[in-house]
């Protein structure tokens, strides 16, 4: 136990070429020899759920989690009206619906499923995951899902984001001058101020209209599309305890669990490690070992992509150019610190990053 929370040893048993062959007796961690002063590794802040008694999937934030939860919703044959009705206490999204069903698995059945199920962890290159999280949450064009609403909520309300004094002041000054006209059946033209609405509900709430979330002259604090620049975001990351940050930004692995843990099973011994960049092909290989489960039709590719994000169809060269542009104003010493902060993810999952040349492939 650590601070009142359970610690889950993470014993990875996988081969990046053949994807997986389970060796339950194996106790030495992949890549462990290059991590000094660490006796065990742990997985934290991961969404884990069962598709059936034969399959458990763990998917961290910004590792195609929306796609995975949509697919799980389909495989569990859950009715669409489960999330459409949006009744109090009922699921409101694919993610919450899958969790809702899994919360019913308890007692001896949970113990048995944890022992017998094939356990799959979805991972992503740390730099791509970090860049994707930054773009998704701080790009003002991402209004379709949580996106910019989530990012603004962090900026305006999260204690850790007090670091961004200039950005917050800039956004708040624009909110003071914003009004919107709600749609009514009486044709009212009354203007409602945006600031009290955002302050009361938080920008993450759907009661805040899109018109309140439009900002101008963002180059003063970020770039033309983002309310926080990537270099400033990286500096913020490096000045905080990553294990306590929002799970979209914290590493997948850590030396100990802190805060809420979302694992289903009380251990982390994965049979397969699946990379987001090869998601469909590697998931297909996993599912080949489970003939009773197949990837549903229409799920051959990742469905969700934030505006300005990385598409699964992008060539490595195009992705590399994007990363080069993001890192051009970040010094090599700062890149080295960033690598160190996410070193466990790089080492345990076999990812590379040359901080001098910036090559990630």
- Domain spans of the chain? 32-129+245-349, 140-225
Query: What are the contacts of 31-40 at 24+ separation with CB within 8 A?
Result: 31/347, 31/348, 31/350, 34/347, 35/343, 35/344, 35/347, 38/255, 38/344, 40/7, 40/9, 40/10
Give the separation between CA 278 and CA 302, rounded to whole angstroms. Answer: 10
Q: Cα dist. 237→40, 82, 161, 182, 334 in Å?
A: 24, 38, 10, 38, 11
pLDDT the model gives residue 267 = 60
Q: What is the DSSP pairing of strand 118-123 with strand 272-275?
A: parallel
**Residues 130, 259, 36: CA angle, nearest 5 degrees:** 65
Q: Which of 8-12, 180-184, 210-214, 241-245 is predicted with the least confidence, judged by mean pLDDT? A: 8-12
pTM for the full predicted model: 0.84
Q: Cα dist. 361→126, 153, 224, 348, 352 in Å?
A: 12, 34, 28, 16, 7
Which token pair is 263? 């694992």
From 65, 35, 203, 211, select the one nearest 133 (Cα to Cα): 65
Which token pair is 190? 């009354």
Three-class secondary structure of residue 121 per DSSP = strand
CB of 31 closer than 8 Å to CB of 350: yes
pLDDT the model gives residue 276 = 93
Q: Which of 42-51, 71-80, 142-151, 346-355 is predicted with the least confidence, judged by mean pLDDT? A: 42-51
Average pLDDT over residues 293-315: 80
pLDDT the model gives residue 191 = 87
pLDDT the model gives residue 11 = 44
Q: What is the DSSP code (8-state) at residue 242? A: G
Give the separation between CA 141 and CA 225, rounded to whole angstroms. Answer: 7
Check whether 122 has a pLDDT greater than 90. yes
Check whether 42 has a pLDDT greater than 70. no
Signed CA dihedral, 245, 144, 102, 271: sign only = negative
Per-residue pLDDT of 314-325, as tens digits, reads 899 999 999 999
Give the separation between CA 361 and CA 352, rounded to whole angstroms. Answer: 7
CB of 84 closer than 8 Å to CB of 59: no
Residue 183 makes CB contacts below 8 A (sequence gap 6+) with none
Average pLDDT over residues 279-283: 90
Give the separation between CA 243 and CA 271, rounded to whole angstroms. Answer: 25
- Mean pLDDT score of the chain: 81
Signed CA dihedral, 56, 289, 11, 355: sign only = negative
Which token pair is 84? 């459409």
Which token pair is 38? 């660490």
């Amino acid at each position: 136990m650590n601070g009142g929370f359970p610690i889950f040893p993470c014993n990875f048993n996988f081969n990046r070429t053949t994807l997986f062959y389970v060796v339950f007796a194996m106790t030495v961690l992949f890549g462990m020899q290059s991590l000094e002063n660490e006796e065990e590794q742990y997985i934290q802040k991961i969404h884990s759920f069962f598709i059936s008694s034969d399959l458990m999937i763990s998917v961290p934030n910004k590792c195609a989690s929306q796609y995975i939860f949509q697919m799980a919703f389909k495989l569990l044959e859950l009715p669409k009206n489960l999330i459409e009705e949006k009744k109090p206490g009922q699921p409101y999204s694919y993610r919450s619906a899958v969790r809702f069903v899994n919360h019913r698995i308890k007692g001896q059945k949970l113990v048995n499923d944890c022992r017998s199920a094939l356990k799959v962890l979805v991972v992503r290159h740390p730099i791509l995951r970090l860049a994707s999280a930054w773009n998704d949450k701080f790009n003002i064009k991402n209004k379709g899902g949580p996106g910019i609403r989530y990012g603004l909520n962090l900026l305006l309300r999260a204690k850790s984001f007090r670091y961004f004094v200039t950005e917050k002041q800039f956004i708040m000054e624009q909110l003071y001058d914003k009004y919107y006209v709600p749609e009514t059946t009486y044709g009212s033209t009354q203007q409602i101020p945006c600031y009290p609405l955002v302050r009361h509900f938080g920008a993450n709430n759907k009661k805040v209209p899109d018109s309140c979330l439009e900002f101008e002259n963002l180059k003063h604090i970020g770039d033309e599309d983002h309310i926080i620049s990537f270099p400033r975001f990286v500096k913020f990351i490096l000045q905080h305890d990553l294990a306590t940050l929002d799970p979209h930004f914290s590493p997948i692995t850590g030396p100990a669990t802190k805060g809420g843990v979302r694992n289903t099973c009380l251990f982390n011994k994965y049979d397969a490690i699946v990379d987001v960049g090869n998601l469909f092909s590697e998931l297909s290989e996993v599912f080949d070992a489970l003939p009773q489960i197949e990837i549903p039709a229409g799920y051959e590719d990742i469905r969700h992509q934030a505006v300005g994000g990385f598409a699964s169809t992008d060539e490595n060269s195009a992705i590399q150019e994007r990363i080069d542009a993001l890192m051009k104003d970040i010094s090599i010493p700062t890149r080295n610190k960033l690598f160190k902060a996410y070193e466990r993810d790089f080492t345990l999952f076999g990812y590379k990053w040359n901080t001098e040349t910036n090559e990630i492939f």
